[in-house]
């Protein structure tokens, strides 16, 4: 019999005043209750109950131990109840990873809207341009851009599709001219994002003639995040790749201009990845369900803005 069960037997005896009554409370035999209390006393090397043929009385040590046991068992009950409600009530903290462009422009907005209806859920958000080890790094979920995902055994929910475009500042294009075909990029300063999502040495376009690959010239500027690239492009440093999420505000404001508007980079899926389908916390389930409704709306809105930039 485990230590917690012997505690329960001891509490039942102390509260009921007899082994027989305790056995009835616990739906077991009087013998089992007696053995449990004797086992507990033997383990503690302390007498907890003085027994006579007529009555039972707790020793001083037994009274102190009873108070501790009652507190421990109550905390166990509360812990069990809390763990159980995790399946039905969204509460607690979610540790989330997202790739930078998606995180800055979609995930933070989604968190703000989600918490309007689920204020008991809190978030720790980390932004990096890589696919993390969810279990090793302790994340509840990762939201990433990828064409495909490695076989990890994790659950992957596709939230939508996005792609990247080329942008430059109006000042740069006025000074250096507007390229009208991918091959013309060789005469320009092509800024490179260096991470696991964006292409580096060769840029592969999808355009009117199908897929075209361009080897870009020596770049005057490398950076690892799309939002940093937005700043560089806006400052007239050259032509660079922009995920739709990073480009839309600049396109609306006129600080960015879409270059080669008939061309774009390959489509990437937006995935939400989490460890298991079984016993999923209510906070994870409701968060995923929210993302599946909310993210496609944001993607469609940004796609509309980028599409209208073709005609400018």
Rounded to 5 degrees, what are φ and ψ at 10?
Answer: -60, -45
Which residues of the chain are under the pLDDT cut of 50?
86
Say what the pLDDT of residue 122 is.
95
Tokens, residue 247: 């480009």
Q: Is 269 helix (H, G, I), strand (E, B) or coil?
A: strand
Q: What's the Cα-to-Cα distance from 220 to each of 63, 167, 223, 257, rounded to whole Å?
A: 78, 16, 10, 20
Rounded to 5 degrees, what are φ and ψ at 135?
Answer: -70, -45
Number of other residues whose CB lies within 10 A of the CB of residue 94: 20
Tokens 């061309």 belong to: 263
Residue boundaries of the structural domains of the chain: 3-85, 92-163+268-311, 164-265
Number of other residues whose CB lies within 10 A of the CB of residue 12: 21
Per CATH, the architecture of 164-265 is what?
3-Layer(aba) Sandwich (3.40)
Number of other residues whose CB lies within 10 A of the CB of residue 30: 14
Say what the pLDDT of residue 269 is.
93
Same fold, 3-85 and 92-163+268-311: no
State how far the Cα of 284 lies from the Cα of 106, in Å rounded to an integer.
17
Q: What residues contact 193, with CB distance under 8 A and at least 6 apart? A: 200, 222, 223, 224, 225, 226, 229, 240, 241
| Whole-prediction pTM | 0.69
Say what the pLDDT of residue 72 is.
86
- Topology at the third CATH level for domain 3-85: Arc Repressor Mutant, subunit A (1.10.10)
Report the top-level CATH class of 92-163+268-311. alpha beta
């Amino acid at each position: 019999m485990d230590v917690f069960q012997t505690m329960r037997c001891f509490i039942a005896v102390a509260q009921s005043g007899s082994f027989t009554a305790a056995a009835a409370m616990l739906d077991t035999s009087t013998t089992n209750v007696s053995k449990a209390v004797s086992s507990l006393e033997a383990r503690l090397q302390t007498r907890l109950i003085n027994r006579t043929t007529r009555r039972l009385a707790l020793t001083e040590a037994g009274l102190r131990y009873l108070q501790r046991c009652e507190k421990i068992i109550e905390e166990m009950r509360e812990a069990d109840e809390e763990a159980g409600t995790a399946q039905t009530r969204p509460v607690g903290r979610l540790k989330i990873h997202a790739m930078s462009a998606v995180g800055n422009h979609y995930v933070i907005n989604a968190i703000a809207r989600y918490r309007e209806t689920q204020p008991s859920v809190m978030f720790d958000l980390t932004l990096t341009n890589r696919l993390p080890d969810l279990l090793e790094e302790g994340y509840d979920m990762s939201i990433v851009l990828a064409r495909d995902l490695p076989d990890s055994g994790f659950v992957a929910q596709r939230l939508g599709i996005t792609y990247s475009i080329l942008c430059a500042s109006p000042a740069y294009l006025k000074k250096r001219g507007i390229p009208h075909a991918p091959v013309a990029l060789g005469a320009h300063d092509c800024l490179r994002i260096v991470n696991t999502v964006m292409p580096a040495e060769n840029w592969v376009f999808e355009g009117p003639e199908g897929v075209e690959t361009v080897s870009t010239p020596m770049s005057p500027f490398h950076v690892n995040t799309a939002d940093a690239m937005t700043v560089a492009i806006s400052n007239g440093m050259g032509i660079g790749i922009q995920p739709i999420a990073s480009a839309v505000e600049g396109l609306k404001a006129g600080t960015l201009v879409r270059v080669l508007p008939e061309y774009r980079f390959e489509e990437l899926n937006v995935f939400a990845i989490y460890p298991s389908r079984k016993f999923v916390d209510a906070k994870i389930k409701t968060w995923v369900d929210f993302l599946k409704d909310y993210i496609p709306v944001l993607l469609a809105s940004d796609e509309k803005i980028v599409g209208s930039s073709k005609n400018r």
